[in-house]
A and B are shown apart, each in its own frame.
Chain A
Amino acid sequence: MLESLALLLVCQLIGELLVQFVVLPIPGPVLGMVLLFLILAARRGIPERLRHTCLTLLSHLSLLFVPAGVGVVVYFDAIAQEWLVILVALVVSTVATLAVTAFTMSRLARWWAKRHG
Chain B
Amino acid sequence: MDSTLTELWVYLAREPLLHLTLTLLAYLCGVKLHQWSGQSALANPVVIAIALLVGLLIMTETPYARYFEGAQFIHFLLGPATVALAVPLYQHFGRIRAQLVPIIAGLLAGSLTAIVSATGLVWLLSGSRETLVSMAPKSATTPVAMGIAEQLGGLPALTAVLVIMTGIIGAVTGPLLLRWLRIDDEAARGLALGVASHGIGTARAFQSSDLAGAFSGLGMGLNALLTALLVPLIVQLI
Contacts and interface: CB of A to CB of B under 8 A. Distances in A.
- Chain B interface size band reads 35 or more
Contacts of A12: 79-80, 82-83
Interface in B45-92: 45-47, 49-50, 53-54, 57, 64, 67-68, 71-72, 74-75, 77-91
Interface stretch (B3-11, B35-43, B170-178): B170-178
Interface residues of A, number: 73
Contacts of A41: 90
A63 interface: yes
A53 B79 CA distance: 14
A70 B185 contact: no
Interface string A46-84: 100011011101110111111111111111101100101
A85 B162 CA distance: 12
Interface string B120-138: 0110011110010001001
Given A25-B147, A94-B139, A102-B181, A70 B101 contact: no
Contact of B127 (A68, A86, A92): A86
Given A27-B144, A98-B177, A90 B192 contact: no
Nearest to A76: B161
A51 B86 CA distance: 10
B224 A27 contact: yes
Interface of B: 23-24, 26-27, 45-47, 49-50, 53-54, 57, 64, 67-68, 71-72, 74-75, 77-91, 99, 101-103, 105-107, 109-110, 113-114, 117-118, 121-122, 125-128, 131, 135, 138-139, 141-144, 147, 155, 157-158, 160-162, 164-171, 173-174, 177-178, 181, 183, 185, 187-189, 191-193, 195-197, 199-200, 202-204, 206-207, 210, 213, 217, 219, 221, 224-225, 228
7 contacts: A29-B82, A33-B85, A72-B164, A98-B197, A99-B177, A101-B191, A102-B191
